[in-house]
Structure 1
Amino acid sequence: MKVKVHTIDGKAGADIDLNDDVFGVDARADILHRVVSWQLEKRRGPARAARERSDVSRTGKKFGNQKGGGTARHGDRAAPIFIGGGKAHGPRARTFGHSLNKKIRTLGLKMALSDKAKGGKILVLDTLELKDAKTKALAGQLGKLELGNRALFIDGDAVHESFAMASANLIGIDSMPAMGANVYDILRADTLVLTRAGLEKLEARFNG
């Protein structure tokens, strides 16, 4: 598949070939769903357990006389109403993540990239380097590219510092290095923007 390489000003240049093994895979909704579900569940932190009555190290001796003390008929100091006592019906320890085969994760990323390429929602830029790291100037340049409401920019080893600074306050503009490319962020973006360096890193990631 061939696409045009643009400058960040929107000017079209030479064609570049997209590797069909990465950008020409038929997408399957079930694979994409599995990978996105795995990603979102991996973000959740484990639930911390609270100590219940049987978990608290307190004396088991009866607190006071059953009658005649003028107080409630307490059993021992581990009761939930006492400071240091066990919690009644406290949260239990739970983990929400589940494992997913690396082969499925890799296939899901290829399918997400292919889905953008086949839908014409992929754009290749020569570089993200800016002469002036000004937010207003960058917003004007990106307006010429017709990126939609949300765009994801993927660069090489690191996002160019000038672009990262200028785009930090732009709503709907996300950026990351090629190593951070993932199915969830790619699918939720209206347009996927790759630099030459980012494209090379992505293809090398799968070929390596």
Structure 2
Amino acid sequence: MKLKVQTLDAKAAGDIELNDEIFGLEPRADILFRVVNWQLANRRAPARAARERSDVARTGKKFGRQKGGGTARHGDRRAPIFVGGGKAHGPRARTFEQSLNKKVRVLGLKNALSAKAKDGKLIVLDSLELKDAKTKALQGQLGKLGFGKTALFIDGDAVDANFRLASANLKAVNVLPAIGANVYDILNHDTLVLTRAAVEKLEARFNG
């Protein structure tokens, strides 16, 4: 698959040949669903358990008479009815982590990249280098490129420092290094923008 390369100023910067085994697959919704579900489940924090009757540090001594007190019968202060007592039927500690085969995770990322390429929402830039970290200037440059409402920029080993600073106040723009590319973030943005370095890193990641 051949794609045109642009600069941040929306000027032509040659062509790039994309690997069809990574960017030319027929996207499978079932694979994408499994990987996104796995990602979101593993992002969840574990649920904390409430202290139940046996966990509360209060006396177990019977504090009143069985009869004649004018109140209900109670054996100790740990009962849920009392302030400071144990929680009745409280939440139990649990984690939400899931496991997913590496082959499925790799296939999911390939499918996400292929889905963007198939929909025409994949753009390749020569680089993200900026002379100055100016948000207003960057916003004007991105307007010329004609992105959708949201865009995910993926660079090589590290995102250009000036570009990261300039884009920090743009709500519709997110940046990641190539090592952080993932299915959920790719699908969660209208446009995927890769640099030449990002394409090389991704292809080496799959081939390695």
Same fold (TM over 0.5): yes
1:133 equivalent in structure 2: 133
SS of the equivalent of 2:145 reads coil
Q: How does 1:44-193 map to 2 (within 5 A)?
A: 44-69=44-69, 72-82=72-82, 84-193=84-193
Counterpart-to-counterpart distance in 2, 1:48 and 1:190: 36
What amino acid is the match of 1:34?
Answer: R
Counterpart-to-counterpart distance in 1, 2:12 and 2:169: 27
Residues 162-186 of structure 1 deviation map (CA, whole Å, 9 limit, x = unaligned): 0000001112111100011000111
What amino acid is the match of 1:191?
Answer: T
Residues 75-128 of structure 1 deviation map (CA, whole Å, 9 limit, x = unaligned): 212112445421122111222221111110100000000111122111111110
SS of the equivalent of 1:46 reads coil
Count residues with an aligned counterpart.
Answer: 208
What amino acid is the match of 1:194?
Answer: L
Alpha-carbon RMSD across the aligned residues, in angstroms, is 1.5
Identical residues among aligned pairs (%): 75
Q: Which blocks of at least 5 consecutive residues in structure 2 are unaligned?
A: none
1:70 positional shift: 5.3
SS of the equivalent of 2:109 reads helix
1:14 positional shift: 0.9
Under a length normalisation based on structure 2, what TM-score does the superposition of the two structures give? 0.94
Counterpart-to-counterpart distance in 2, 1:60 and 1:193: 65
What amino acid is the match of 2:23?
Answer: F
Counterpart-to-counterpart distance in 2, 1:145 and 1:168: 18
Under a length normalisation based on structure 1, what TM-score does the superposition of the two structures give? 0.94
Counterpart-to-counterpart distance in 2, 1:46 and 1:184: 21
1:59 positional shift: 3.7
1:43 equivalent in structure 2: 43
Counterpart-to-counterpart distance in 1, 2:57 and 2:165: 54
- Please tell me whether residue 7 in structure 1 is matched to residue 7 in structure 2: yes
Q: Which blocks of at least 5 consecutive residues in structure 1 are unaligned?
A: none
